[in-house]
Amino acid sequence: MNSFLNQQVLVLNRLWQAVNVCSVRRALTLVFEGHAHVVLSDQDGAFQTFNFHAWRDLSQAQPHPETVATISFKIRVPRVILLLFFDRLPKKEVKFTRHNIFERDKNTCQYCGHTFERRDLNLDHVIPRDRGGPTSWENIVCSCIPCNTRKANRTPTEAGMHLVRRPKRPKWRPFVQVSFELPYHDSWKHFLDLAYWNVELGEDVR
């Protein structure tokens, strides 16, 4: 049972942003000391938080296969915890990822100004790559498929199109890249979507 103690727990800051990963042992210590609450999703997909005593009571009332035994009781292994007093993010540069570009542009085509589902948006090089346009914050924008097709391999001026706003490197950090071992726990999926949206983009971006 105590083999669970070294497994990973996702740590959220007070604003419910992923900031770290720690061991089950560390997570239980933080919850016991009153520095964190356990986060658990109910059947409706809503998130509930539990302090140590409430989590221990739930563990007794609803036995679970993932438990850690102490001398006097068994307690369920937490998978996500919420820090109560920490609202800062690690100070790092905003990562150049699809997710962050869509966040910056608010899922809005930067040519027609309409908002779309992400699956209906492309990333466009304002100055085409074969004309020397770099793959950078200042030259990549969200574009809907019709606008992307209309612009083709031209500059906006050549295509008779105008940008809604000039693309810039954002100063905020919408997502924190957390290092962890795969596969991660199902309960993390709401807070992390690393497979596609948060991979650092290179010159092969389409």
Same-domain check for residues 119 and 150? yes
Same-domain check for residues 111 and 34? no
Query: In this structure, are residues 11 and 20 in contact, taking their beta carbons and an 8 Å threshold?
Result: yes
**Residue partners of 202: CB distance under 8 A and separation at least 6:** 135
Same-domain check for residues 105 and 128? yes
**65: DSSP letter:** S
Q: What is the pLDDT of residue 191?
A: 74
Please determine, for residue 174, whether its predicted confidence score (pLDDT) is greater than 50: no
Higher local confidence (pLDDT), 36 or 5: 36
Higher local confidence (pLDDT), 205 or 105: 105
Quote the mean pLDDT of the chain.
84
Is 15 among the domain residues?
yes
C-alpha 37/C-alpha 40 separation (Å) is 10
Same-domain check for residues 145 and 182? no
Nearest partner of 52 among 178, 43, 68, judged by Cα? 68
Same-domain check for residues 26 and 124? no
Q: What is the pLDDT of residue 179?
A: 52
Least confident of 1-10, 56-65, 106-115, 120-129: 1-10
Is 67 among the domain residues?
yes
Higher local confidence (pLDDT), 4 or 145: 145
Same-domain check for residues 23 and 80? yes
Same-domain check for residues 121 and 63? no
**Residue partners of 144: CB distance under 8 A and separation at least 6:** 109, 111, 112, 114, 116, 120, 121, 122
pLDDT tens digits, one per residue of 122-153: 999 999 999 999 999 999 999 999 999 999 99
Same-domain check for residues 74 and 42? yes
Q: What is the pLDDT of residue 16?
A: 83
Same-domain check for residues 10 and 75? yes
Average pLDDT score over residue span 29-46: 89
CB neighbourhood size of 171 (10 A): 7
Please determine, for residue 167, whether its predicted confidence score (pLDDT) is greater than 80: yes
pTM: 0.51
pLDDT tens digits, one per residue of 64-86: 898 988 888 899 999 999 999 87
Is 197 among the domain residues?
no
Query: In this structure, are residues 103 and 113 in contact, taking their beta carbons and an 8 Å threshold?
Result: no
C-alpha 153/C-alpha 195 separation (Å) is 29
Is 194 among the domain residues?
no
Is 196 among the domain residues?
no
Is 202 among the domain residues?
no
Is 164 among the domain residues?
no
Is 204 among the domain residues?
no
Contacts 24+ apart (CB under 8 A), 38-44: 38/78, 38/80, 38/81, 38/82, 39/12, 39/78, 39/80, 39/81, 39/82, 39/187, 40/80, 40/187, 41/187, 41/190
* Residue 133: domain span: 98-159
Pairing of strands 80-83, 8-12: parallel
pLDDT tens digits, one per residue of 5-26: 888 898 888 888 787 888 999 9
Please determine, for residue 196, whether its predicted confidence score (pLDDT) is greater than 50: no
Q: What is the pLDDT of residue 95?
A: 80
* Partners of 10 in the β-ladder: 21, 80
Q: What is the pLDDT of residue 115?
A: 96
CATH number for position 145? 1.10.30.50
Domains held by the chain: number: 2
Query: In this structure, are residues 140 and 124 in contact, taking their beta carbons and an 8 Å threshold?
Result: yes
Q: Is 12 helix (H, G, I), strand (E, B) or coil?
A: strand
The runs of H, that is alpha helices, within 41-177 are 52-61, 98-104, 145-151, 156-159
Banded pLDDT at 206 (limits 50, 70, 90): very low
